[in-house]
Amino acid sequence: MSELKQTRTIAIVGRPNVGKSALFNRIIGRRVSIVHEQEGVTRDRVVCETEWNEEHFELIDTGGLGTIDSRPTGDVLVNRTNEQVEVAVSDAAVIIFTVDLTAGIMPMDEEVARVLHRANRPVFIAANKADNASRDEETYGFDALGFPVFPVSALHNRGISALMEAVLPELPEGEKPEDRDPLRVAVVGRPNSGKSSYINRLLKGDRVIVSDIPGTTRDSIEIPFTIGKGPQARHYQLIDTAGVNRRNRRSGAVEHYSNMRAEESIDSADVVVLLMDASEGPKLQDKKLAAKIMEAKKGCVLMVNKWDLAEEADGVTQTQYEPALRKEMPFLGFAPLLFISAESGYNVKRSIDTIDYVAGQVETKLTTGVLNRVIQDAMAKNPPPIVKGRPLKVYYATQSGTKPIFIKLFVNNTLRATDTYKRYLINQLRKAFGLEGAPVELKLVPRPRPDLEEKKRRS
């Protein structure tokens, strides 16, 4: 395990189904991680910047550990989950070790504890599911794990303050960050796809004019939108764009201006929601919008609106509809897809969680060591093609930016990297790190061979 880093980061770890994600959501004050009784729902790290009593820090939610030792299990998802937990522990300054009070100490808890004792990090045990004061005495048995124990209930918000009062002083000193701009979310689509209805449903009010007449929204309207209160509130700037029409000779100045403003809204957004009409399926203009989102390298969420009408009229199911849609728009295969109804409210609340999730993915920071391991494993599994007599060699990989996820590959020769092979490497990165909805860019940088450079200096 690496030496302690001076980052204000707290990682929540533990075996599956002990309530890590529920505790994560309780601390940040809003629902980001998916909470479900099924084991293994959280597979990748979820990172969120938040604050507690004016103390700013990053909080990491990790997948449940299926095994802790370094031996592969044969289960790819378990291996990837364990790798993500390893990265989280390495990055964290403090660790919250979550256990299930009602289950007592399990063998996997003891295995996690042994690893954390070697991690050289302050560790605090959150004995979750202490739903009332009478259960607090049951925490004494967990002292055997060798860390301070705090009875908590993520469900009933018990004991969280006492836990955080112990955790926060262990964080390294850091400057209070400046207030950030709200998350900019552009909602785009063809005329009458339901963009304004969707935003009105989110706002629970008629902030945007809604009409059955295509093209009612001529300009891009920006609307501040806040979820929650106090320091944990999440601030949005929702951008309702004009419906994008196909340009032709009869298009007037208003249509041209509307299309231009919609494209500008995509350029200025952090995340773009591409809204489509379920009854019509993806049209040419939907595909052009998708291409614009790709060109602008923006986070993307695909939403199919009016799903209730299509389901009732055609009897089609989501499992039937999604493959057909993905086939029509394969270049956005990385974007999450959600079926909604702005009219009935179906999945509208869930759409906020999805947008928030993608917003976090576009700012993902990949640890250099794990990044290089994934690249080398991908190349070993599927070697690059021979180009001009020699294959591509990757000496080193590092992340150089976010929004999009920007990866630099230092290689022997940039001309030996085919577009197909670069797409393969990007797909392998997605399999390893998730990155749903986030664009990934590879920049190849030639690195001279040391032996050739030495010969040049001698000659």
pLDDT tens digit string along 237-258? 787 665 444 544 444 443 455 5
pLDDT tens digit string along 326-339? 999 988 999 999 99
Q: Of 245 and 368, which is predicted with more confidence?
A: 368
431 is in an annotated binding site: no
130 is in an annotated binding site: yes
243 is in an annotated binding site: yes
- Least confident stretch, 131-140, 176-185, 280-289: 176-185
Tell whether the model's pLDDT for residue 288 goes beyond 80: yes
Q: Does the CA dihedral 327-428-47-65 come out positive or negative?
A: positive
Structural domain spans, the chain: 9-170, 183-361, 368-455
pLDDT bin (cut points 50, 70, 90) of residue 315 is: confident
Secondary structure class of 274 (helix, strand, coil): strand
Percent of residues in the chain assigned helix, strand, coil, to nearest 5: 40, 20, 40
195 is in an annotated binding site: yes
Residue 97 · residue 68 · CB < 8 Å: no
Residue 84 · residue 63 · CB < 8 Å: yes
pLDDT bin (cut points 50, 70, 90) of residue 323 is: very high
449 is in an annotated binding site: no
Cα gap 121→117, rounded to integer Å: 8
Tell whether the model's pLDDT for residue 19 goes beyond 60: yes
Q: By CB neighbour count within 10 A (0-12 exposed, 13-18 middle, 19+ buried), where does 453 fall? A: exposed
372 is in an annotated binding site: no
141 is in an annotated binding site: no
> Chain-wide mean pLDDT for the chain?
80
Residue 17: predicted pLDDT: 84
74 is in an annotated binding site: no
Q: By CB neighbour count within 10 A (0-12 exposed, 13-18 middle, 19+ buried), where does 105 fall? A: middle
What the block records as the tokens of 459 is 């000659």
194 is in an annotated binding site: yes
Cα gap 361→119, rounded to integer Å: 27
128 is in an annotated binding site: yes
Rounded average pLDDT over 112-116: 87
Tell whether the model's pLDDT for residue 178 goes beyond 70: no
69 is in an annotated binding site: no
Tell me phi and psi for residue 237, to 5 degrees. Answer: -125, 100
What the block records as the tokens of 185 is 């979310």
15 is in an annotated binding site: yes
Tell whether the model's pLDDT for residue 141 goes beyond 60: yes
Domain 9-170, CATH 3.40.50.300 — does that match? yes
Residue 377 · residue 324 · CB < 8 Å: no
Cα gap 65→43, rounded to integer Å: 9
DSSP category for residue 364: -
* Closest of 15, 18, 125, 127 to residue 64, by C-alpha: 15
Residue 128 · residue 138 · CB < 8 Å: no
Note the pTM of the prediction, 2 decimals.
0.58
14 is in an annotated binding site: yes
Fold of 183-361: Rossmann fold (3.40.50)
Tell whether the model's pLDDT for residue 366 goes beyond 60: yes
* Closest of 222, 218, 276, 268 to residue 243, by C-alpha: 218
Type and span of the H or E element at 256: helix 253-268
53 is in an annotated binding site: no
Question: Given the DSSP bridges, would you call strands 394-401 and 183-189 parallel, antiparallel or unpaired?
Answer: unpaired
Cis upstream peptide for 404 (omega within 30°): yes
Q: What percent of the chain has pLDDT over 70?
A: 73
Tell whether the model's pLDDT for residue 230 goes beyond 80: no
Residue 36: predicted pLDDT: 41
Region at 192 (left for phi over 0; alpha for psi -120 to 50; beta for the rest): left
Query: Domain 368-455: which CATH class?
Result: alpha beta
244 is in an annotated binding site: yes
63 is in an annotated binding site: yes
Cα gap 378→370, rounded to integer Å: 12
427 is in an annotated binding site: no
Tell me phi and psi for residue 169, to 5 degrees. Answer: -60, -15
197 is in an annotated binding site: no
129 is in an annotated binding site: yes
43 is in an annotated binding site: no
Q: What is the largest CA-CA distance in the chain?
A: 82
Q: Which residue type is seen at 353? A: D
* Closest of 90, 85, 88 to residue 119, by C-alpha: 90
Residue 139 · residue 101 · CB < 8 Å: yes
90 is in an annotated binding site: no
**Do 183-361 and 368-455 have matching folds?**
no
Tell whether the model's pLDDT for residue 175 goes beyond 70: no
C-alpha Rg value of the chain to the nearest Å: 25
157 is in an annotated binding site: no
Give me the residue label for tokens 């993307």.
300
17 is in an annotated binding site: yes
Residue 218: predicted pLDDT: 36
Residue 193: predicted pLDDT: 87
Q: Which residue type is seen at 48? A: C
Q: Please give the angle made by the CA atoms of 91, 76 and 298, to the nearest 5 degrees.
A: 60
62 is in an annotated binding site: yes
193 is in an annotated binding site: yes
Tell whether the model's pLDDT for residue 41 goes beyond 50: no
203 is in an annotated binding site: no
